[in-house]
Amino acid sequence: MAVRDIILYPDPILKTVCDAVETLDDSVKALIQDLVDTMVDAGHSVGVAAPQIGVTRRVVVVDVSKSKLGRDNNHGQLVMVNPAILEKEGCSTMREGCMSVPDYTGNVSRAERVVVQFLDREGVEKVIQASGFEAVAIQHELDHLDGFLFLDRVSSLKTDVFRRKK
């Protein structure tokens, strides 16, 4: 469909709690394709959430398979409609970045393993277990659906946020 512009912090849409998708109609299918196209076009992105392209619906895409951190442990390209984390286990800290906060990265503590329930792009209910970098990427994207950025998850804005190298 289309590569969409990424909404940048501090745009208030990024702090919005998104609405559930009631039916997988043509508008949702177009949104999914726009998210995939936008993620792929960025080249370095491992996920995009609907509010990052200005749509307050509970839809994300995640694909860590081309990242060195995720290439050996992933489910490929995930399209998640109305995703929910059912279980979390473990905790580790990792440096995260975000296309909506392009100039900074930050140290964020997240669960090492998650069980996630969602509808795929065909409307089929799925439950998967993700671990490592894929689990981190899923949690990061799902945060967007509830109005959270990685900046909201760092312990200290003074010691855990870093200006991205140009």
Catalytic residues: 141
Q: CA–CA separation, 131 vs 25, rounded Å?
A: 31
Q: CA–CA separation, 63 vs 98, rounded Å?
A: 14
Q: Are 2 and 34 in contact (CB under 8 A)?
A: yes
Q: Three-state SS for 138? A: helix
Q: CA–CA separation, 107 vs 99, rounded Å?
A: 16
Closest CA to 89 of 126, 130, 125: 130
